[in-house]
A = this chain, B = another copy of it.
């Protein structure tokens, strides 16, 4: 059962209704897909910017200053910050949000933190759904801030029109970024805290790595922007680079292509998520539990049990 007032109020940019809709999405309520279907006609005009990188690179600070920059241009900014929470670190990134009190009081800004809480699989889906709500509510820019340590966080950053990877000059950071897959998703890099020692070496190392990448005049080559975000240095340059990327994508007709690729990934994830729910909801889980001992003792193969579960599922649906 969906509440059509809620949808109307989202279109009117009512903050409470926006927050309520995102809560419905977060709770994995079965009605959330109906809401998302209803708002879709208003979705698509916001520009989405992904901001990711290793912990401590200064992503929140950059998000904070970028938001102020866009507010001066009178653009409305929605922020979705994804926190990979563990039992030990719960709320670590939420603490960062405190630093945002200055922009948080601004009516043209909407900030929402979303935590993993164990179920990593569904988080990228939920964050992208939440971005749709902000898009439908008329925000001009949506900043998706994530910590790039897991596949899910990379997925979120990749769902943006422009993806920024924030690094710091610490030794080995760029190598670690490579291994974590950050190099593949960056539309450009921000080398933050670039007043620190080792900054020039890190810049050169990053440049060398980027030069290996194949490219021609029709493909975008990621740039490196130096910044000291805590002192508001480099923010104008970051905003200019976002614009340059946006223009390039539109000129080369890559913008729609990118969004189509993203839509494909997203639809696949929705389908798989729904099927998984149906699969494990009823008999699946209990019939599985009863056979585990036999698997461990060697009398039943996991592959045989998997086949039985699939057969049972096919008969059920």
Contacts and interface: CB of A to CB of B under 8 A. Distances in A.
Chain copies in the assembled complex = 2
Nearest to A182: B86
B180 A297 contact: no
A183 B89 CA distance: 10
A246 interface: no
A260 B41 CA distance: 47
A159 to B, nearest CB: 12
Contacts of A301: 36-37, 40
B313 A275 contact: yes
A314 B313 contact: no
Interface in A52-90: 54-56, 84, 86-89
A205 interface: no
Interface residues of A, number: 74
Contact of A150 (B41, B150, B288): B150
Nearest to A36: B303
A270 interface: yes
B266 A88 contact: no
Contact of A296 (B84, B259, B307, B313): B259
Interface in A255-292: 256, 259-260, 263-264, 266-268, 270-272, 274-276, 279-280, 288-289, 292
A302 B179 contact: no
Interface stretch (A170-178, A190-198, A221-229, A231-239): A170-178
Interface in A19-70: 33-34, 36-37, 40-44, 54-56
Contact of A172 (B56, B120, B292, B300): B56
A309 interface: yes
A310 interface: yes
A194 to B, nearest CB: 18
